Amino acid sequence: MIQLATPDYIKTLQDNMHKLAEGVLRPISRKYDEAEHEYPKELDMFRGIKVMARPKKKKEGESASNDEKKPKRGANLGMVVTIEEMCWGDAALLLSFPNAGLGNAAILAVANDEQLERFGNKWAAMAITEPGAGSDSGAITTTATRDGDYWVLNGEKIFVTCADRSEVVVVWATVDKKAGKAGIKSFVVEKGTPGFTLEHLEHKLGIRASDTGTFVLSDCRIPYNNILGDPEVKMSTEGFKGVMKTFDNTRPLVASMATGIARAAVEFTKEQYEQKGYVFDYKKNLSNVSAAERELYLMEANVEAMRLLTWRAAWMADNGQFNNLEASMAKAKAGRYGTLITQRCCELLGPVGYSTHYLAEKWMRDSKIMDIFEGTGQIQHLIIARNVLEMSSKELK
């Protein structure tokens, strides 16, 4: 049965996370925007907290239980709710949370028990993008060549989040270029491995507290057992599709980041207007309010739309439904509107929006990445369009 009013357990989670965001993240938000790349040591308090959990494996017969039709409470919805609150606090700091890198998500999802033992408690970054392979992640050229009990990796990886702070990096490389996408596998590379160099850290428009960097792999030898998933190259792209499927889980996370930042901007702008004597009242009619008020109401509605699309994608994942389309919808909407809303709030705030004495200008810079990483807005639109039009990637390029 349709029921979209926020449940009490979610409200409790929101309240708790909000307190954390307000008490811990907001006070140091500007500090680490300015101290670009410096590790926010205040975040050490989160080191013990398990932000990510290994997805529960279904026991045999479990899926056939009687409450099959009952909606399930799952990790995905809890995660997007938490992330929205944290990003209301500060998105760059969230990205700096220890042991909560994208690589950790990949390891938790696909590592075998032995690998989990070795890497489960380590901060893991994810290295996919290359200078010549952005959205086209099937075109990566970093190679992994088998040499007895080792893999030898060669190539360059850019835009790696948590490049400096992470202890291990999950690197995407091809074991067989001729096999195309089917040849792409992921490998865990430990920091300090000879031939694995952090070449430099990037200076960015926003999320400056997050350390984004470039790695060079030069005859980097790692143990054979560091490959994640099946080492065999199958003649289908199922394996690659499986890897891409992790995006169905991570895209709603990015959408919730955009939602958190946009909400912060709208709330702040409304507060500033209220101080000037404006009264916001939902009983009013859009035709009878000022242009600025009207816009703020509409932005609030858009934030709600971003949130609900995100919650739907997460809820579907929690309930074992394929959510590729819905995940991209959430990301497409939230990425784009996050940018538009934070920009517009700055404008409505005037000098207060542009001064670094306040956070509005920072939110505008931080939000921009949400329409870029984990697949640009354009890629999301392409995925959605192919999906609803039932056209292949050849028919709709």
Partner 1 sequence: MVEEISFALSEEQQMMQDTVRQLVQAQVIDNIHQWDENRLLDKQAVQKFWELGIIQSMIPEEFGGYGMGSSPVLHTLVLEELASGDMSFAVHAMLPALFVLPVVSLGSVEQKEKYLPEFCNESFVPATLAVNELSVGFDIWNCETKVEKKGNSYILNGKKCFVPLANEAKYMIVVANYESNPHLFIVENGIEGVIVGEREKNCGWWALPTYEVSFENCAIPENNILGDKTAIYWLLQRTRTAMAAIGTGISRSSYEYAKKYAKERQQFGEPIASRQSIAFMIAEMAYEVDAMRLLTWKAASTIELGIDANRESFLAKIYAGEMTMKITDYGVQILGGHGYIRDHPVERYYRNGRSIALCEAMSII
Tokens coding 338: 């996050």
Nearest distance in Å: CB 341, partner 1: 13
* CB nearer to partner 1: pick between 7 and 131: 7
User: Using CB under 8 A, which of the segments 169-177, 188-196, 258-266, 285-293 binds partner 1?
Assistant: 285-293
Binding of residue 384 to partner 1 (CB under 8 A) = yes
Residue among 45 and 396 whose Cβ is closer to partner 1:
396
Terminal-to-terminal C-alpha distance of the chain: 38
Strand 227-228, strand 184-190: pairing: antiparallel
At its nearest, how many Å lie between partner 1 and the CB of residue 272?
Answer: 20
- Active-site residue (options: 117, 167, 374, 390): 374
Encoded amino acid at 387, one letter: N
Site for partner 1 in 63-92 (CB under 8 A): 70-71, 73, 77
Contact between residue 44 and residue 98 where contact means Cβ atoms under 8 Å apart: yes
Q: What is the CA radius of gyration of the chain?
A: 22
Report if residue 332 touches partner 1, rule: CB under 8 A. Answer: yes
Q: Give yes or no for residue 319 binding partner 1 (CB under 8 A).
A: yes
Active site residue 374: yes
Vertex 378: Cα angle to 372 and 379 (nearest 5): 85
Nearer to partner 1, 25 or 383 (CB): 383
Pairing of strands 150-161, 168-174: unpaired
Residues 132, 156: Cα–Cα separation, whole Å = 10
Name which of 49 and 301 has its Cβ closer to partner 1: 301
Determine the residue type at 205: L
Total residues binding partner 1 (CB under 8 A): 51
Instruction: Write the CB contacts of 374 (distance below 8 Å, at least 6 apart in sequence).
Output: 247, 250, 251, 253, 254, 331
From the list 4, 64, 279, 291, which residue makes contact with partner 1 (rule: CB under 8 A)?
4
Q: In this complex, which beta carbon is closest to partner 1, that of residue 181 or of residue 333? A: 333
When asked if residue 258 is in the footprint of partner 1 (CB under 8 A), the reply is: no
d(CA 391, CA 248): 19
Q: Which residues pair with 188 in a beta bridge?
A: 170
Instruction: Give me the residues that bind partner 1 (CB under 8 A), please.
Output: 1-10, 70-71, 73, 77, 282-283, 285-288, 297-298, 300-302, 304-305, 308-309, 311-312, 315-316, 319, 326, 329, 332-333, 378, 380-382, 384-386, 388-389, 391, 395-397
Q: Which residues are catalytic?
A: 374
